[in-house]
Chain A
Amino acid sequence: MSLYDQLGGEAAVNAAVDIFYRKVLQDDRISRFFDGVDMAKQAAKQKAFLTMAFGGPNNYTGEDMRRGHAHLVAQGLNDSHFDAVVENLAATLKELGVSDELIGQVAAVAETTRNDVLGK
């Protein structure tokens, strides 16, 4: 069974999205990157992010990730912000009762995007 299915698929993404997005907006280290955007539209993008991190179906390429975060890199996005996002992601899953083992797998999936997200 894939990681995405083990986590519970789309239902897991739906359960996680509000919790995760609340954490991100309340995290002073990274909230500024999400300022000034339409919150409702952002929520859908957060789902895209979670689907990807959960190893779910998506058609994003590394190039898409580069392009999608380039304006944030220009605003100073770096490794510490990336780590903060992964931390919020892990805390969200913990809250939902996901095992440490699966949380580790999710973090590993996120890790594969680091260079692209940070434009390295």
Chain B
Amino acid sequence: MSFTPHTLEDRDEMLATLGVSSLKELFADIPKSAHLAKLDMPDGISEQEVYDRLHALSHKNAHELTCFIGGGFYDHSIPSAVDTLSSRGEFFTAYTPYQPEVAQGTLQAIFEFQSMICRLTGMDVANASMYDGGTALVEAALMAIRSTNRPRIIVAGGLNPIYRRMLDTYTRNLHIDMEELPVDEGAVDRVKLASLLTDQTAAVIIQNPNFFGTVEDFSDIAAMAHAHGALMIASVYPIAMGLIKSPAEMGCDIVVGEGQSLGLPLSFGGPYLGFFAVQKAHVRKMPGRIVGETTDRHGNRCYVLTLQAREQHIRREKAASNICSNEALCALRATIYLSLLGKQGLTDLAKTCMTKAEYAKAQFAQIKGVRIKNSAPTFNEFMLELPCNASDLVAELIPLGLIAGFPLGRYYPELQNCLLVAITEKRTQVEIDAFVSAVKGLLK
């Protein structure tokens, strides 16, 4: 099977048109010595057989356990209409909308996506998407270095530890200094920050809510950064924007984040959705595609890729970024998801997550030896301090059908006894109660 529609007659007629006698002759430019005898791969199999193999593989995964893991990637419910619409072939079998006359569907959807990201974050301009929240953050750091022409980045200790490592990978060869604020589940250490900020600082990076679940007003941090001519970058959780003051109101210059929560399945890590928004002054330094509104020759309103002079296909090595293909279909899903959620829906959903998390916190707090480690407000994720190793506890609870959370010792050796627990609207009170009593039972 190769999905080639050619009959043997078609093939022979086409070869005759070319004046060659075999398909092989078309490959004459490949040096003889490099010709491959045969791929060492099994021959193709039928659709049914492929399905059976993949189905069997999917059953070797424990996806049916009740999951209390978040860590930046959340088990939210996805309305059916998101799948229905995003699986329309007119959307998913098209490509980058370079020809606006035959791509208004994609272009308008991206314009709506940009608008929704701006409304969520309070920012002026958003791009058409980045690969994921991690690469979006890396691009934000690189953009700050370019725009300020300064070599230093200060990173808050509450940044997702995986994103923190990604920053190192991408900046290693670029003569950039990463300066770290202490890891703390609570507020950013302002005194330490003040001591690090200089006229060489390009940006301060913060995550809100931070990796440990704590929500913070970082307006004063933005003011400190700005006083030194540095940019303020925040990585945010979009669902939390239903309850938390927008990053723009807190003084951000660049806002990025992971859009997986907006209608994308967890899918073992991807595809996800990076979003990227800036204040207007920075738009020409922004990476990625941007769609703008305009008119056609009849004066009709329409949409088109714009400000392309920043991009690799025009500027090559001087481009703002190397990104070409992005996560357009994921952005479409997010746009549909947010349309279905609506104005009141986002506030309600965020409130539901927070209320359920507060319920869970209160139940855990009653267990002897267990403590909620966050001293400041949280949204839907919090840190439990246990009287035992958190990895042990998680392993013990798996046979009971639940994944208790993420043991923080994996990334922070000093936090071996701490567990990061996330609650979404999908976790029922029954599930939370079962989790709490299982912990109680274990610690007895």
Q: Do A and B bind each other?
A: no
**Interface residues, chain A, with chain B CB atoms under 8 Å away:** none
